[in-house]
Structure 1
Amino acid sequence: MSEDRVRVQLGPNGVATVTMVRADKHNALDQAMFEALANAAEQLAGNTSVRAVVLHGEGKSFCSGLDVASFMSGQGGTGVLLERDGDRLANFAQRVAYDWSLVPAPVIAAIHGNCFGGGLQIALGTDIRIAAPDAKLSIMEIKWGLVPDMGITQTLPRLIPIDVAKELTFSGRIVSGSDALAIGLVTRTSADPLASALELAGEIAQKSPDAVRAAKRLYDETWVSDDAAAALKRESELQSGLIGKPNQIAAVIAGMSKEQPVFVDPER
C-alpha cells in the first residue's frame, strides 16, 4: 500500500518532486505513509541526477501528523514506530524526518494548510521551509500525551531558542505561517509555497551539484559544533574536493563567459 501514499517525479532539470497523496486524510501518517516517505528519501539519496527536491502534500494540507486512529485500531501498532532497522541511526518513525538530511541534494518543504506534529517534524527535517502565511503549524504531540520524537532534537535547536521550543512543545500552540517565520520555524512565506519551492529548486539545480552537495554537508556537519578547529578543517577538506574538478571549472568558465554552465552528475 505504501506505493499509494507518495508520488516521486524527477524532472529533466534534476528537480525531484515528492508528493504525499493521502489528501482525504490531510496526508496523515499511517504505517503505509511512513514506509513510503522513508522509501522515497532512500531512493532519492542514491540518485546522483537529483539536484534539488521539493516535498509537499496534495490537497488541503502538508501533513496533519500521526493518524492516531489508524495506529490505535491495530493497523501496525504504535510499537513499530520505535523499531530500529539494523544499525540505522534513526528508528522507523524518525527516518521520515531525519532521512532527508541523508539526501545529498537540498530538500525544500512547501507547507500549506495543516502541518502538525509529525508533519511539522518532517518539514523540520528538510533544508528549507516555505510556508503559506495562513498555514497552521504545531508541535502537537502534547495533545496525545507524548513528546515529539521524530528527530526534532537534531533539527529544532538549529532554528529557535530553547525557551521558544519549550513553549511551543508544552502548549501545543498552533502558529500561522507568518508567525512561524517571525520565530524562525520556517525560512520564508509565500502565497503559493509550492510554486516558490519549485522556482527555488530550479535555481539551485542550475548551480554546480558538487558545490551544492558539499555546502549541505558542510553546514549539516558543523552548524552546532563547538569544535572550531574541526569545523575549519572541514571547510578546507570540502573545498579541496571541489577545486579543479570538472564542475568547478565549468562554473568558472560560465561565470566569465556569461553562458549557461553544463554540469555533470556527481559520482556519488
Structure 2
Amino acid sequence: MADDVPRRVALTVTDGVATVRLDRPEKMNALDPAMFSAILATGKELMAREDVGAVVLTGAGRAFCAGLDFGSFADMAERGPERTREREAAAPAPLGAAGALAQQAVHVWSLVPAPVIAAVQGVAFGGGLQIALGADIRLVAPDAQLSLMEILWGIVPDMCGTQLLPELVGRDVAKELALTGRKVSGTEAVRLGLATREAADPVAAALELAAEIAGHSRSATRAVKRLVDLAGRVPLAEGLAAEQAEIGALIGSPEQAAVVRRRLESRG
C-alpha cells in the first residue's frame, strides 16, 4: 500500500488466503476519505497478486462498518454545493465501470481475480453494507444488523448499492430497503438473499471457506468468478461462448493435469 495512504486497512496473506480488515475499530470502521483510499489501494494490490487464492473482507472490533463518518454528513449539510465540486475535482481515474472514489472502493472487489468473502459481524450500515455487497459471498452473524440507511440522511446509496442490490434481492425488495432504511438482522438478510448464509463466527467461517477455495485450482476458481459475474449481464450466447473459452483454456493445462493426478492418486 502506498506510504501516503493513512493506515485504515490491515492486509495479511497466509497460505494463499488474504485477510483484509477495515481497521478503525474506535469508530466502528466508519468511512472517511482515508478509509476509502486505503480500501481502494488494498483492492488494487490484490488485483495484481498471483499468490492469493481467496480473500476474506472483514472489520476490526465489534462492527463490519458503520458507514459514512458522521462528520461527513454535517459537512454535506453545511457545504453542499462546494463539497460536490470538491468531490468532482478530486475524482480518481476510472476503475472498471466505477468513476467516483467511493464506488471504486466497492467495485474493486469484483475486479480482484480471487473470490472475495465478506464476514459481517455487528453492523454494516450504508456504505459499509455496500462494501459487503461488492464481495462475491457474504457470511453474516445471526444478530448482525444491515441497512441501506442513506434515505434517513436525505441521500441515496451511491456506492454501487442501487445497482448491486436488485440482483440479489429483486427490485421490489431493493426499493423497500433503500426507501425505508430499515435494519435487517443477519437471519433476515439470508432469507432475503442479501447474505449467503449465517455463521455464529462469520470471520472463522469465512477463513475456513477461503482456505477451501484457495486449495482448489486457482485458474478454475478465477474462471468461475468471471463466468458467474457475466450471467444476466451479457447476452446468453456471449455467456455460453465464454464458458467454452474458459474450459478450453483449463483442460489439459499443467494445473488441471496436476489436479487430476492428485485426485486419482487419492483414490488409491
TM-score by length of 2: 0.91
Do the aligned residues in 1 keep the contact of 2:73 with 2:153 (CA within 8 Å)?
Answer: no
Deviation for aligned residue 1:244: 1.0
Deviation for aligned residue 1:80: 5.3
SS of residue matched to 1:105: coil
Aligned to 2:252: 244
Change (3 A) 1:136 1:145: same
- Structure 1 residue runs of 4 or more that deviate by more than 6 Å after TM superposition: none
Aligned to 2:65: 63
Instruction: Deviation per CA, 1:117-140: give whole Å up to 9, x if none.
Output: 000000000000000000000011
Matched residue type, 1:10: V
Matched residue type, 2:160: G
Aligned to 2:177: 168
TM-score by length of 1: 0.91
Aligned to 1:144: 153
Do the aligned residues in 2 keep the contact of 1:71 with 1:77 (CA within 8 Å)?
Answer: no
Deviation for aligned residue 1:49: 0.6
Do the aligned residues in 1 keep the contact of 2:166 with 2:173 (CA within 8 Å)?
Answer: no
Aligned to 1:253: 261
Number of matched pairs: 257
Query: Where do residues 95-134 of structure 1 align in structure 2 (5 Å cutoff)?
Result: 95-134=104-143
- Normalized per residue, the structure richer in helix is 2
Separation in 2, partners of 1:50, 1:208 = 12
1:179 matched to 2:181: no
Aligned to 1:14: 16
CA RMSD of aligned residues (A): 2.0
Deviation for aligned residue 1:243: 1.1
- Partner of residue 23 from structure 1, selected from 13, 22, 25: 25
SS of residue matched to 1:65: coil
Aligned to 1:265: none
Separation in 2, partners of 1:205, 1:121 = 25
Separation in 2, partners of 1:4, 1:21 = 8
- Partner of residue 50 from structure 1, selected from 29, 52, 66: 52
Separation in 1, partners of 2:207, 2:171 = 32
Deviation for aligned residue 1:79: 5.3
Separation in 1, partners of 2:101, 2:184 = 28
Change (3 A) 1:94 1:199: same
Could you tell me which runs of 5 or more consecutive residues in structure 1 were left unpaired when the two chains were aligned. Answer: 260-268
Separation in 1, partners of 2:41, 2:200 = 30
Aligned to 2:215: 206
Separation in 2, partners of 1:101, 1:81 = 23
Deviation for aligned residue 1:87: 3.9
Deviation for aligned residue 1:78: 5.9
1:235 matched to 2:243: yes
Could you tell me which runs of 5 or more consecutive residues in structure 2 were left unpaired when the two chains were aligned. Answer: 77-81
Separation in 2, partners of 1:36, 1:87 = 17
Aligned to 1:216: 225
Separation in 2, partners of 1:81, 1:131 = 32
Change (3 A) 1:57 1:81: farther
Q: Kindly, what percent of the aligned residue pairs are identical?
A: 50
